[in-house]
Structure 1
Amino acid sequence: MNPWPRRVLTTILTLTVALATLAGVAVAGAVVTTRSMHQPVPTRSHPAASTAVPSTGPGSLAGDVSGQNGRRLVVAFVVGTGGTIASDLLAPYDIFSSSPAFRTYVAAADAGPAPLEGGPAVLPTYTFADVDANPALTPDLVVVPALTRPSGSSEAPLRTWVTRQHDDGARVLGVCTGSLVLAATGMLDGLHATSHWSRIHALEADHPRVHWVRGRRYVEDGSVTTSAAVTSGVPAALHLVAELAGPAEAQRVADLHPELRWTPTETTSIAADHFTGSDWPVGLDYVMPWFRPTVGVALRDGVGELDATAAFEVYSQSAAARTVALGPGDTVRTQHGLVLLTTRLVHAPHLTRVLVPGTRTSGAFDARLRAWADNRHLAVERLADRSGPDGPGGGGFAAALQDLADHTDGATALTTAKMVGYPAGGLHLGSRHRSWRTVLLGILGLALAVLVGRAPVALARRRRPMRRAEDSREGSVSPASQTRGSA
């Protein structure tokens, strides 16, 4: 018999099983990584959130700043029941809340803690029913972050509420893939809109009535504004502050975060990004999450929302480490009044190190954190932007990306900056350090795939001599039996 067909079939079987095994390992890793982005929501009771109060610190204007018609404009941020992208919510919330021209709050379908993907859970300020029952809370602007299940039935109440507010005259800002939520309502039909660069191709197929735009930080069409990747929600928010409260007020708010380098005349044009071969470190981190470090992010009362979310977002997008929100108690209240759920220091899991966002100190907690970290032999690092003078907030995404580069490598930090849409020019992301954890795991995964792929062939080869032996024994017995039979 010609051995070539058998060899071809054997090779095809080996490759098929090996690739299936490798794909299974990658899928399992991706599931683990995705689940780790959702920090568990504690079931214990929490104090009710209160209406956020604009900052009255040194950065505020001496006089009142009014929005349209001489009154403070109401900005409602919605959160979903199944998960909301933390940075899409917290970063723009910081921007609008930093101006006394706006009154901000977070609204949800129910009053329970709302899970944030890539960050700690948040307590909504009001429910949709609360807002509907109080005319003073009627929003002038609704901010829609990206949701984990944007078109799912569980988020139908949110989509209905946002649509009704828009129909009643409210402006709408969709942050990143918050555009998926808006597209699902039909609100974007016939309009120009943008979204995260990695999703626009699919959106063009799913929602052909929308004029999807690439290469723009944000797109405004009538009363609806949509922004590109994650951090683009910040310049989009500043643009709306400039429109509604004036360019001077928008510049004042931007100056609270000098690392943004924002001005009212800044262009909306950006690179039309796409995945390239140089993004492989983040891809490998995403599918090989085992044995990765766990980083504690220590939050305290008064922390800025943008600073608080930056480290969570950067490390969740890079998949280089798992993050845990730490606090002196079960909750912390941010600079502008949001209540975030945290893990007490005494209940913290095993950690690799601890990051402290923001440069403002909080005496007693800082001392307690330092003592606790020293007892555990943990390094405590403050996140501060090294590309320029430290702003009041401590560097936000710039500092987080620099920290990521220091502990992984420049390629990982650059890919992560691309994923979150942060302009990396001027940042010090040239670290050559590289963790070999994912590389070794990748090699082990390939080795496992090869072994599993060759297993059927090895078993077949092992059975072949056994069959030959059995056939040989049967052949030696058969003639004797025939002889006895003839006698």
Structure 2
Amino acid sequence: MKKVLLRLAVYLLSLVVFVGGLGFLGYSHTQKEFYNALREEAVPSLEGVTIPPHDPAKPTVAVVLGDSSITTEDFDFLIPYTLLSMTEAYNVYAVAPDKDLKALSGGLDVVPHYTYAELDALLGKDPDVIVVPFMPIIAEATYAPTREWIQKHANSDTTFLSICGGSGNLADAGLLKGKSAASHWQAIPSLRVFYPDTTWVEDVRYVHEGNTLTSSGQTAGIDAVLHLISQQVGEPTAASIAKQISYPNYEFVANPKVEPFVLDYKFSTYILNSTFRWQKKQMGVLLYDGMEELALSSIFDSYADTGTTRVRTISRTMTPLTTKHHLNIVARHTIENAPQLDKMIIPGGDAPSLAHDDIKFWNEKGKADVTLLIHADSPNRYVFEAPLEDLAKQEDLLTARHGVKRLEYRFDNIKLEGSALPLMTYAHLLLTLALAFFTAFFIDRKFIAKKSICCLHKRTL
């Protein structure tokens, strides 16, 4: 009986060491590639960076960037920045503790327009709207200036808009005590533990209570921003912007009530991909002047946070580029020094004209198995649809379906075609299980079974 228990312990321990250990290392590495994708390349000169002109007659929106030791979630930052800029009714600025280059999740680098102190000096009052994206609170000392700046302006005159997990940052600053709030469905269980003095709501796309407006996950942030625009600028403007971006869920702006998402088998696919997908697709995204911020966000959120794909930013030069709405971005690789890629994505419906010379140079010097102008063939589609469809073809249906759910996309306009299962991920998992089994089997035969045979032989003698 003792030997049976010993064998069982050996096999269980081997399973824990190999599956648990390798799984932990794989998951940690995957999360770091997306949520801690800080720049390791040399920072180029940031001289000549432009700042949108300030109009004192317009209300001012400050879209927060975290400090340089963390990433700011790219969707949470880019979507409100873009939609509020499209109204032309606001001054919209990217603000941060300092003017150093800041990383968005997945590896997109942004140059802040102003520091917190500079914006305060420019306005001489509180910003009218402060947008708070998700920023992981890893180091208290470096995050403290962001928390303190949010708290400094916590009054009824400023509207605080959080996107997705950004509601956790608002709760951390004490702005959601005694209030109801929304967040990404995957984050709500932990938020209830850390911030029990907030009522976390799962069955709405956004919650507007007093001067706080919190959205649930990803695309629900669009509903929250359009709701704010409808309230402050006018519903016709909100409807016009929804039409311009071909947004298919505009009905949620007026009625945010939905059936809540729950954890299911699709989430296990995300975990397994993040844990056991060791060979990730190497993808580039071409940056160019005048590009659409929403199109850019669609690449990072559709591919980079699936556990299957590493995304790298590439441009003709390392000088800062200016997007359609005056955001300054910097690539991490030039076309000539970019690594070999499995795929190069060129986002934006206007890419063939806006990036004509860049595309030509890429075709001459770039190194990729496939180059895809992902929005060019259907410039009037909602920008997240084509990338999610391509993800299904590149990977599998389970991975793409979780991507749709993670983005909280609630429209049936996406046609997913591809392999049914993430076969490479399952192969790596089976290989790990086999390694654990054969290691335990070797220990069993070498030490436990051999000792049993020796003992039996001695009793026979």
Above 0.5 in TM-score? Answer: yes
SS of the residue corresponding to residue 209 of structure 1 reads coil
CA deviation digits over 1:442-485, x for unaligned, max 9? 1111111212333432331475289669979xx9xxxxxxxxxx
How far 1:285 sits from its partner (Å)? Answer: 0.9
Deviates more, 1:333-342 or 1:38-47: 38-47
Counterpart residue number, 1:367: 360
8 A contact 1:88–1:231 mirrored in 2: no
**Residue in structure 2 matching 1:163, options 151, 164, 170:** 151
CA 1:155–1:8 in structure 2 vs 1: closer, same or farther (change >3 Å)? same
RMSD: 2.6
SS of the residue corresponding to residue 373 of structure 2 reads strand
Counterpart residue number, 1:356: 346
8 A contact 2:38–2:71 mirrored in 1: no
8 A contact 1:241–1:249 mirrored in 2: yes
SS of the residue corresponding to residue 19 of structure 2 reads helix
Looking at structure 2, the residues matched to 305 and 144 of structure 1 have their Cα atoms a distance apart, in angstroms, of: 18
Counterpart residue number, 2:217: 229
Verify: 1:346 aligned to 2:336, yes or no.
yes
Counterpart residue number, 2:283: 295
Q: Which runs of 5+ in 1 are unaligned?
A: 55-65, 476-487
TM-score, normalisation: structure 1 = 0.86
How far 1:291 sits from its partner (Å)? Answer: 1.4
8 A contact 1:385–1:398 mirrored in 2: no
Q: Which runs of 5+ in 2 are unaligned?
A: none
How far 1:278 sits from its partner (Å)? Answer: 3.8
User: Residues 99-110 of structure 1 correspond to what in structure 2 (within 5 A)?
Assistant: 99-110=87-98
User: Residues 152-231 of structure 1 correspond to what in structure 2 (within 5 A)?
Assistant: 152-167=140-155, 169-231=157-219
Looking at structure 2, the residues matched to 167 and 33 of structure 1 have their Cα atoms a distance apart, in angstroms, of: 39
Aligned residues: 450
Counterpart residue number, 1:36: 33
Counterpart residue number, 1:58: none
Counterpart residue number, 2:389: 402
CA deviation digits over 1:281-328, x for unaligned, max 9? 322211013112111111211111111111111112211211111111
CA deviation digits over 1:163-195, x for unaligned, max 9? 112227211001111111111111100111111
User: Residues 397-436 of structure 1 correspond to what in structure 2 (within 5 A)?
Assistant: 397-432=384-419, 434-436=421-423
Looking at structure 2, the residues matched to 153 and 297 of structure 1 have their Cα atoms a distance apart, in angstroms, of: 33
How far 1:377 sits from its partner (Å)? Answer: 5.4
Looking at structure 2, the residues matched to 15 and 202 of structure 1 have their Cα atoms a distance apart, in angstroms, of: 29
TM-score, normalisation: structure 2 = 0.91
SS of the residue corresponding to residue 263 of structure 2 reads coil
How far 1:239 sits from its partner (Å)? Answer: 0.9
Looking at structure 2, the residues matched to 27 and 209 of structure 1 have their Cα atoms a distance apart, in angstroms, of: 32
CA deviation digits over 1:126-162, x for unaligned, max 9? 1011112222684100000001227833211111101
Identity %: 24
8 A contact 2:293–2:324 mirrored in 1: yes
Verify: 1:79 aligned to 2:65, yes or no.
yes
Verify: 1:257 aligned to 2:245, yes or no.
yes
Looking at structure 2, the residues matched to 453 and 90 of structure 1 have their Cα atoms a distance apart, in angstroms, of: 50
Looking at structure 2, the residues matched to 99 and 150 of structure 1 have their Cα atoms a distance apart, in angstroms, of: 35
CA 1:25–1:244 in structure 2 vs 1: closer, same or farther (change >3 Å)? same
8 A contact 2:10–2:440 mirrored in 1: yes
Counterpart residue number, 2:379: 390
Give the letter aligned to residue 79 of structure 1. L
Looking at structure 1, the residues matched to 310 and 215 of structure 2 have their Cα atoms a distance apart, in angstroms, of: 27
User: Residues 317-332 of structure 1 correspond to what in structure 2 (within 5 A)?
Assistant: 317-330=305-318, 331-332=320-321
CA 1:173–1:150 in structure 2 vs 1: closer, same or farther (change >3 Å)? farther
How far 1:14 sits from its partner (Å)? Answer: 1.5
Verify: 1:442 aligned to 2:432, yes or no.
no
Counterpart residue number, 2:323: 334
Looking at structure 1, the residues matched to 362 and 276 of structure 2 have their Cα atoms a distance apart, in angstroms, of: 31
SS of the residue corresponding to residue 105 of structure 1 reads strand
Report which of the two structures shows the higher radius of gyration computed on alpha carbons: 1
CA 1:180–1:215 in structure 2 vs 1: closer, same or farther (change >3 Å)? same
Counterpart residue number, 2:3: 6
